[in-house]
Structure 1
Amino acid sequence: MRPAEWITLIAQFAHLSQRQRQAGIALLHGNAPHDATVALLENVAQPRLACPACGSAHLHRHRHRHGHAHGLQRYRCVPCGRTFNALTGTPLARLRHKSLWLDYADCLLASDSVRKAARQLGVHRNTSFRWRHRFLSLAKTDRPHGLHGIAEADELYLLASEKGSRNMTRPPRRRGGHAHKRGISNEQVCILVARDRTGQTLDFVTGKGALTKAQLHHCLLPVIDKDVLLVTDGHAAYRAFAREAGISHVAVNLRAGIRVQGAAHVQNVNAYHSRLRQWLGPFHGVATRYLSNYLGWRWILDARRIRSPETLLKATLGAFPHLMVT
């Protein structure tokens, strides 16, 4: 390499991300990013290696190996004869460019847009979009099993979006537009958020229109303790739900300007709403059919249980960090 080219190359180092610098160091040591990703995938798969077709853990001997394909070890099941690898039956099955997956996980943790992540990795925007929802399909399920003590619940409404749909049920509009009807209507999607005082949070996309008592029974009843104190605003559906479920309930009259009644308030859940709305803003309206993925993505960032690309990649395969104490 000519000296001028070397100077130009060195000058570009300052613009590298932390992940890119680590990948460069690994490459200089003879460890390609592809090899590091494959090693991580194999390590996650080994402890729970079983045939995805029949569930058997009885694999052919000789270290349970049956060749390689696409850089991954192949395994053959003895009972059914099927072959599989560490990604078979996972959200990452049949995806390419494994060497870029850790970099893409970095983009998710940075809340990068589809196009920004695509530019950084040098892939097509459709690939970036596909990876986003594959990575989140299992990782979003890392949630608390229930809420305890004092639990706050409140709902927020987002404009229903058919973004990306080929067969729309309404005339198109600008992304992030406004509803034509005043108040709450079937133009809006309801998101129910429940959060206890330890910060454990659960959210549910209940559907279009106002929240109902039946939806509360379906969403909240399985995940709250019988001795929980449920704190909400004055919505009639919460009162009816609490009475029928036999749980303690306090309604804070926000319309009268009363925000705190002793220990009863909904400020924690409203603060979560605020962070969620602010975070969703740069996406300019997310498709309703993918809304649960975005809610899971927001929880990943807010809970800070997943802080590294490696941990997120493991969660994508269903290997989560230590379970929350609930």
Structure 2
Amino acid sequence: KNGNVGYYNVNVHLNPTNVCVYRCIFCAFRSDLKDQKAYLMSDEQILHRAKEAESRGATEMHIVGGLHHQMPYDWYLNIVRLVHKEHPNLHLKAFTAVEWEWFERLTKRPVSDILQEFKEAGLGSLPGGGAEIFNPEVRDIICEHKADTDNWLRIHRAAHNLGLRSNATMLYGHIEKPHHRLEHLEKLRELQDETGGFQTFIPLAFHPENTRMQHITKPSAMVDLRVMAISRIFLDNFQHVKAYWVMMGIKTAQVALSFGADDIDGTVVHEKIYHDAGSDTPQEMTVTEIQRLITEAGRLPVERDTLYNQVLRTEAAPNAFKIGGKLALAQV
């Protein structure tokens, strides 16, 4: 669909807290308030992360995290406002539909008003997480009480109506069946026909380690590639399909560029959610490493921004995009 191009971007992840009111059985990231691994980032730590990222050439900050029951709505809004004020050139792709529904509960306001307020504060687009699998019976088992299918679709529709682009995901390789995947793709296709607001579809391979579903064998590379190919064929109204190397693995993601994917994601510095679930991929990759993977797959590497505009640099983004040292996280 996009010729011989393999897209990537220079991005960084920000997970402001892992404390979460939900107890999804597939999640290894969440913590209770009193858990030893629970954390809550301060404004200073968040701004330090943004400054460090932009100084190394990042064009995007991907912000998602837990639903901390003690933090008010304004805390979440302030993250976007703070980072955008200090680093206006960083595109902020922030908060899944699950988080937006939580903001509705906190404020008793419609999501369209909330999205507009965040947009004015600096929100650039929405990630596609929280979709998991749309089948209600499966959702009742793996993520009971979490935003349901209708609400996920409703929130993305509202974002599109405000001119905000978003991504879409599907978590596969757990207890769902192949027909559940097709039902999921069909619902995404229908909404895309209606709004045209989705940019990228991202199939996410389930990682069972450190979850309450760790008895399940994670999907094989053949399953990964079949899901990728079927997704590309089914979602012909999506411009892009991404092979997210953090979950798929570097080598499989590279091969996926020949199975329908046209994007391998980016440097992904500081990703925590899938690494807590046992992902054995690196915490980040350099630009040089990403370009080599794409080139070896027979594709032309093209750096993009979040909205798929080509990024042309007078000099290369720092090859050593590996942020040294660990940022201390405030214990809660």
Q: TM-score, normalised by structure 1?
A: 0.28
Relative to its length, the structure with more helix (as a share) is 1
Q: TM-score, normalised by structure 2?
A: 0.28
The structure, 1 or 2, with the larger RCO (C-alpha pairs under 8 Å, 6+ apart) is 2
Structure whose CA Rg is larger: 1
